């Protein structure tokens, strides 16, 4: 028998209320009963997105919602800006290229945030840019971008601002309307505390105008079809009924706590984790722009990063994430998204210390746990 802990940046642990909702018998979706749930879920999503815009739900992982953004906004041959500061920024470029869109890529050193003036400059130099694709929290590096500042840079141009908030939504502040984000996409298995399977997308008036003239092919991910169905509180295709019922529960939990407190909890977990890093003589990968979503930590010299993650998981049941793509073996990532509390962090840090100790890393055993406890005692 082994008790397991999940501290990865998706999927994230499921609260008991969510598990219970998913164990209920299935109901039909074209019923007044389900319509009520759909309405409640849509209102709840608007609260979490901090928007008055339409928010639609697709049966897909988060990447499906990213693809929906590209396919609905643009036409082949259009020019867009993509910001690449990690694996997920690169995904925007790849999706755009798959649709024949010309990408002006802003390359950002991995572990750093994009300088908003770089976007402004590129927009000024190329007035035909239709959209700017960015990432709230670049989950592969742990860095968070200044979306408020980027929003200011984009709002008075013809371009729409598209934000991948897949790992950040419901974890850190993202003011969709106040920050002029035209399209925000997210997924279910991160801050929203659900299994994977739902993709979300919010659409502003400015974005709807672009959608009107867009000629990229789409069928399942057609936002106009979603909007039309929504006029009669419906979805164009069978929704993921069970996941949406579970979403209703997780949104209730978020509403009960209040978004502010949800953000504070994430900050508290992240602050403690960062203090642990310092106490253990380790180094953050994104020290200047570390997110409260996931903490990326450099693998210390002489330690096998992949083995560290594997041992924590296979020997002790604590699952954290390793590095992706060029960061494979170079960082490990402790996520504190969603249903994560002090006790999860303490369990994770204790396990990390044990394994680092066994692997020969030199530090005083207990210093990490102590730092976390002290951080939590401070409140
Ligand atoms: C997890 C994640 C994705 C990918 O989402 P999937 O649900 O795996 O498709 C994209 N962007 C960011 C920032 C993520 O954290």
pLDDT, tens digit, 9 for 90 and up, residues 269-281: 999 999 999 999 9
Do 175 and 148 contact (CB within 8 A), yes or no? yes
| Residues sharing a CB contact under 8 Å with residue 190, sequence separation 6 or more, in sequence order | 9, 10, 11, 12, 62, 166, 167, 169, 170, 171, 293, 337, 338
34-43 pLDDT, tens digit each: 999 999 999 9
SS3 195: coil
Distance 369 CA to ligand 1 centre (A): 30
CA 327 to ligand 1 center in whole angstroms: 17
- Whether ligand 1 lies within 6 angstroms of the CB of 139 is answered as yes
- Distance from Cα 280 to the centre of ligand 1, integer Å: 30
Q: How would residue 119 be classed by pLDDT, with cut points 50, 70 and 90?
A: very high
For the cut 90, the answer to whether the pLDDT of residue 232 exceeds it is: yes
Give residue 128's pLDDT: 93
With the most atoms of ligand 1 within 8 angstroms of its CB, the residue from 62, 90, 169, 190 to mutate is 62
SS3 label, residue 300: coil
Q: Return the residue whose CA atom lies nearest to atom 12 of ligand 1.
A: 166
Between CA 332 and CA 147 the distance in angstroms is: 25
Residue 342: pLDDT band (50, 70, 90) is: very high
Strand partners, 138: 143
- Give dist(CA 232, CA 334) in Å, integer: 43
Say yes or no: do domains 5-10+258-378 and 16-256 share a fold.
no
The pLDDT score that the predictor gives to residue 319 is: 98
Question: DSSP string of 34-66?
Answer: HHHHHHHHHHHHHHHHT-SSEEEEEES-HHHHH
Q: Topology of 5-10+258-378 in CATH?
A: 3.90.1150
Helices (H), the chain: 16-22, 32-49, 62-73, 87-98, 116-125, 147-155, 205-213, 223-230, 241-257, 259-279, 305-316, 342-358, 367-378
CA of 108 to the centre of ligand 1 (A): 19
Report yes or no: 106 and 99 within 8 Å, Cβ to Cβ. no
Provide the pLDDT for residue 2. 84
Confidence of residue 94 (pLDDT cuts 50, 70, 90): very high
> 187 CB under 6 A from ligand 1?
yes
Question: Mutate which of 95, 166, 325 to test ligand 1's pocket (most atoms within 8 Å of Cβ)?
Answer: 166
**Phi/psi zone of residue 100: left (φ > 0), alpha (ψ -120 to 50 degrees), beta?**
left
How many whole angstroms from 70 Cα to the centroid of ligand 1? Answer: 15
Query: Mean pLDDT across the stretch 339-366?
Result: 98
Q: Is the CB of 167 under 6 A from ligand 1?
A: yes
Band (pLDDT 50/70/90 cuts) for residue 216 is: very high
pLDDT of residue 379: 77
| Residue 372, pLDDT above cutoff 80 | yes
The whole-chain average pLDDT of the chain stands at 97
Residue 111 tokens, joined? 């572990």
Nearest CA among 186, 180, 346 for reference residue 254:
186
Which two three-digit tokens encode residue 196? 């994977």
> What pLDDT is recorded for position 252?
98
Structural tokens at position 125: 């130099």
Which atom of ligand 1 approaches the CA of 10 most closely?
Answer: 1
Contacts of 210 (CB under 8 A, 6+ apart): 73, 74, 130, 131, 160
Neighbours of 232 (CB within 10 A): 8
Q: Which fold has domain 16-256?
A: 3.40.640
* Mean pLDDT within 64-82: 98
Is pLDDT above 90 for 299? Answer: yes
pTM to 2 decimal places? 0.98
Mean pLDDT for the stretch of residues 94-112: 98
**pLDDT band, residue 135 (cuts 50/70/90):** very high
Query: Is the Cα dihedral 30, 33, 35, 40 positive or negative?
Result: negative
Region 2-21 average pLDDT: 97
CA of 43 to the centre of ligand 1 (A): 23
Mean pLDDT of 57-64: 98
pLDDT interval class at 311 (50, 70, 90): very high
Sign of CA dihedral 195, 221, 97, 119: negative
> What are the structural domain ranges in the chain?
5-10+258-378, 16-256
What's the rounded mean pLDDT across residues 2-15? 96
Share of the chain above pLDDT 70, in %: 100
Average pLDDT over residues 58-79: 98
CB 68 within 8 A of CB 227: no
The response to whether residue 62 sits with its C-beta less than 6 Å from ligand 1 reads yes
User: Does 127 score more than 80 pLDDT?
Assistant: no
- Residue 14 is classified by DSSP as P
As a whole number of angstroms, the distance between CA 253 and CA 18 comes to 10
Dihedrals φ, ψ of 131, to 5°? Answer: -155, 150
pLDDT band (50, 70, 90) for residue 126: confident
Give residue 131's pLDDT.
Answer: 98
> How far away, in angstroms, is 88 Cα from ligand 1 center?
7
């Amino acid at each position: 028998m082994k008790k397991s802990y999940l501290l990865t940046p998706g999927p994230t642990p499921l609260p008991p209320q969510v598990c219970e909702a998913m164990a209920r018998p299935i109901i039909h979706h074209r019923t007044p009963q389900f319509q009520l749930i759909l309405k409640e879920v849509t209102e709840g999503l608007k609260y979490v997105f901090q928007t008055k815009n339409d928010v639609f739900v697709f049966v897909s992982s988060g990447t499906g919602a990213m693809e929906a953004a590209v396919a609905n906004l643009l036409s082949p041959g259009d020019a867009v800006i993509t910001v690449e500061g990690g694996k997920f920024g690169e995904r925007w470029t790849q999706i755009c290229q798959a649709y024949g869109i010309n990408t002006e890529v802003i390359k950002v050193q991995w572990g750093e945030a994009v300088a908003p003036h770089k976007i402004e400059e590129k927009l000024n130099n190329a007035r035909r840019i239709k959209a700017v694709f960015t990432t709230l929290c670049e989950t592969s590096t742990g860095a968070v971008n200044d979306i408020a500042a980027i929003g200011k840079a984009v709002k008075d141009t013809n371009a729409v601002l598209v934000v991948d908030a897949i790992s950040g939504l419901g974890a850190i502040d993202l003011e969709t309307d106040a920050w002029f984000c035209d399209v925000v996409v997210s997924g279910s298995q991160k801050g929203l505390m659900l299994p994977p399977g739902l993709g979300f997308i919010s659409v502003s008036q400015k974005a709807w105008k672009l959608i009107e003239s867009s000629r990229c092919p789409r069928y399942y991910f057609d936002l106009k079809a979603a909007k039309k169905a929504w006029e009669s509180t419906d979805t164009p295709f069978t929704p993921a009924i069970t996941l949406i019922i579970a979403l209703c529960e997780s949104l209730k939990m978020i509403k009960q706590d209040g978004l502010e407190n949800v953000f504070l909890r994430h900050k508290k977990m992240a602050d403690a984790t960062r203090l642990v890093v310092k106490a253990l003589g380790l180094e953050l990968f994104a020290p200047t722009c570390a997110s409260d979503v996931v903490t990326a930590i450099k693998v210390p010299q002489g330690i096998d990063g992949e083995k560290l993650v594997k041992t924590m998981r296979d020997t002790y049941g604590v699952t954290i994430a390793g590095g992706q793509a060029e960061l494979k073996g170079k960082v490990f990532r402790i996520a504190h998204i969603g249903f994560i509390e002090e006790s999860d962090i303490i369990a994770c840090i204790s396990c990390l210390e044990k394994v680092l100790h066994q692997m020969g890393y030199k530090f005083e055993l207990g210093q990490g746990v102590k730092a976390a406890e002290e951080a939590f005692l401070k409140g």
